[in-house]
């Protein structure tokens, strides 16, 4: 009898902590000022539209991005408020009364809007830079290649620059801790600091790989539309953002399936190389937080499943 496949878990780094998401819930663990670890739970609420979209190839990637951006922003908001607050002043958070509508629209929507704004800016800025070179590189092919080069340089340069700021450097360390925990779990290793630290800080399913794929896939998609005049190029780029995102998600899923195939696993290497910038080697106390978050997620998922099974019996 074949063994049941392990559930697939994902996560993201937050300020002084790590968030992990399962099928039914998401959990964030954050290191507080007094060195204690605090937790934030949020159930995965099914949205009928997003659930339907996630079953359709090339649309499921967009649905997943919207869901991840909305959900991740809530956990990032928790970590930014919680980690730096003295535990003796927790009452301040309790006194902050926000309506449910404000919570949903004020935090989740901001996360989605922020992603879209960044994507639009990241898409259009290389267009204008490439347009400046048109007197020298006038053909559509050369313009697309130059645009892709500018986009890649902006991406790598931006990540490299922010990775040297103290706050982002620590977030990238927690990002590495998140990957190490997932790798340990998927490699059937003990979830101890020593065993987790021995794992790689790189992972095929990382969102960093997805970002890089959008650059490469975009160049191929843009070959199908004109680059001149400029206003047509701008409209094309904006209109094709969902297309590029959808195809890039499918390519990421495809490379994930090939990560164990010796000859083909190199397809995911560019994304892993970018992770050398978006992750840093974590300290033991950061790995401890990541382990605590993941164990709490496993406990919450197990509790949910046990409760669901009891309800079925009744």
- How many domains does the structure of the chain reveal? 1
- Structural domain that includes position 131: 10-313
What 8-state DSSP symbol labels residue 120? H
Q: Does a structural domain hold residue 4? A: no
- What's the CA gap between 87 and 93, in Å, rounded? 10
Q: What is the reported pTM?
A: 0.83
Structure-token pair, residue 74: 């809530």
According to the model, what pLDDT value does residue 52 have? 77
- What's the CA gap between 175 and 172, in Å, rounded? 5
- What's the CA gap between 68 and 11, in Å, rounded? 10
- Which are the contacts of 47, defined by CB distance < 8 A and separation ≥ 6? 67
According to the model, what pLDDT value does residue 48 have? 74
Q: Does a structural domain hold residue 194? A: yes
Beta strands in the chain (DSSP E): 10-14, 17-21, 25-31, 37-43
> What does 216-241 look like in DSSP terms, one character per residue?
HHHHHHHTTS---SHHHHHHHHHHTH
According to the model, what pLDDT value does residue 162 have? 86
Residues of the chain with confidence (pLDDT) below 50: 1-2, 91, 94-105, 107
Q: Does a structural domain hold residue 155? A: yes
Of 280, 209, 189, 198, the residue nearest 61 (C-alpha): 209
Q: Does a structural domain hold residue 143? A: yes
Q: What is the pLDDT of residues 176-196, one digit of tens each?
A: 999 999 999 999 999 999 999
Q: Does a structural domain hold residue 3? A: no
Q: Does a structural domain hold residue 293? A: yes
Q: Does a structural domain hold residue 221? A: yes
């Amino acid at each position: 009898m074949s063994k049941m496949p392990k559930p697939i878990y994902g996560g993201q780094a937050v300020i002084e902590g790590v968030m992990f998401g399962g099928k039914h819930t998401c959990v964030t663990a954050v290191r507080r000022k007094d060195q204690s670890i605090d937790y934030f739970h949020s159930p995965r609420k099914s949205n009928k539209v997003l659930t339907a979209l996630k079953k359709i190839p090339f649309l499921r990637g967009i649905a997943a991005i919207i869901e991840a951006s909305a959900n991740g922003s809530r956990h990032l908001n928790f970590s930014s408020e919680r980690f730096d607050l003295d535990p003796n002043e927790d009452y301040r958070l309790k006194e902050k009364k926000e309506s449910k509508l404000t919570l949903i629209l004020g935090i989740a929507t901001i996360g989605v809007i922020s992603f879209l704004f960044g994507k639009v800016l990241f898409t259009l800025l290389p267009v204008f830079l490439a347009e400046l070179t048109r007197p020298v590189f006038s053909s559509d092919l050369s313009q697309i290649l130059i645009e892709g080069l500018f986009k890649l340089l902006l991406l790598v340069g931006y990540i490299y620059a922010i990775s040297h700021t103290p706050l982002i450097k620590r977030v990238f360390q927690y990002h590495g801790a998140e990957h190490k925990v997932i790798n340990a779990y998927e490699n059937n290793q003990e979830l101890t600091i020593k065993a987790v630290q021995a794992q790689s800080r790189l992972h095929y399913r990382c969102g960093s790989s997805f970002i890089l794929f959008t650059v490469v896939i975009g160049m191929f998609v843009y070959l199908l539309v004109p680059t001149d005049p400029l206003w047509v190029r701008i409209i094309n780029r904006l209109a094709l953002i969902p297309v590029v995102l959808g195809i890039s998600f499918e390519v990421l899923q495809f490379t994930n399936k090939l990560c164990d195939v010796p000859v083909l696993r190199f397809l995911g290497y560019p994304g892993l190389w970018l992770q050398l910038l978006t992750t840093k080697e974590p300290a033991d106390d950061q790995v401890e937080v990541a382990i605590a978050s993941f164990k709490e997620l496993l406990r919450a998922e197990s509790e949910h499943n046990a409760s669901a099974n009891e309800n079925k019996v009744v």
